Amino acid sequence: MCPDQFRTIGIEPFVWAYLYPNLLGSFLIWLAMEEMRKLISHKPLKKYAWQPHLTGIIERTLYLISFLIEHPEFVVAWLAFKVAGGWKVWSKSEDGGDGKEKCSKKDEHWGRAVYSNMFNGSALSILYAGVGYLFIVWWKDRCIVFWLAGLLVGLTLLLWIALWIWGRHMTKKKQVHP
């Protein structure tokens, strides 16, 4: 999409494109990620709990911009940096710490679970930024983009409900079979 095409649609779709992933998307992704963390008993320190949320907002903004300037390969590069940055922790740490504590045999897949959760959060962020981008591209046919945006919200809520139900099931199972 060239800059001339952007000038003909005004600022409204850009506002929607930014607010949709970064307000509504942030809240819904937070709900899903909290349930995923509970399922693997991952409790980040409270003083650092805000960081993933801020990173998510920055990521969704960067993804949206990379789509707008027609360089979606930035998303791949960003994900590579995220993986490289967390590799040591995911591969060696049981508690999300600095990687000094080795996983026990019982919990050898814990790091992989944290890694998978990070990728799930990133995938949701990419989807929300992608729909934000479509607010701009398809603005003249708002009906389609609003249906798509609603569908993504619905799917994220279904994911959260499924994780919440699964978490309650696992909690009951642990109480019955200690």
Per-residue pLDDT tens digits for 30-74: 989 988 888 887 777 778 888 888 999 999 999 999 999 999 999
Residue 92: CB atoms within 10 Å: 15
Q: Is the dihedral of CA 167, 171, 176, 178 positive or negative?
A: positive
- Nearest C-alpha neighbor of 41 from the set 96, 83, 82: 96
Q: Mean per-residue pLDDT for 145-151?
A: 82
Contact between residue 32 and residue 1 where contact means Cβ atoms under 8 Å apart: no
Contact between residue 128 and residue 152 where contact means Cβ atoms under 8 Å apart: yes
Residue 106 exposure: Cα atoms within 13 Å on the Cβ side: 0
Residue 93 has pLDDT above 50, yes or no: no
Q: Which pLDDT belongs to residue 84?
A: 85
List pLDDT tens digits, range 7-37.
566 788 888 899 999 999 999 999 899 888 8
Cβ-count burial 40-67 (b if 16+ within 10 Å, e if not): beeeeeeeeeeebeeebbebbbebbebb
SS (H, E, C) 59-103: HHHHHHHHHHCCCCHHHHHHHHHHHHHHHHHHHHCCCCCCCCCCC
Q: Identify the residue with better confidence: 6 or 24.
A: 24
**What angle in degrees, to the nearest 10, is found between the helix axes of 12-19 and 110-137?**
170
The 3-state DSSP class for residue 139 equals helix
Is residue 2 very low, low, confident or very high in pLDDT (cuts 50, 70, 90)? very low
Domain ranges for the chain: 3-176
Distance CA 37, CA 30 (A): 10
Q: Which pLDDT belongs to residue 124?
A: 93
Q: Mean per-residue pLDDT for 155-175?
A: 80
Q: Which pLDDT belongs to residue 40?
A: 82
Distance CA 119, CA 126 (A): 10
Q: Identify the residue with better confidence: 169 or 35.
A: 35
Which region among 45-54, 105-114, 163-172 has the lowest average model confidence (pLDDT)? 105-114
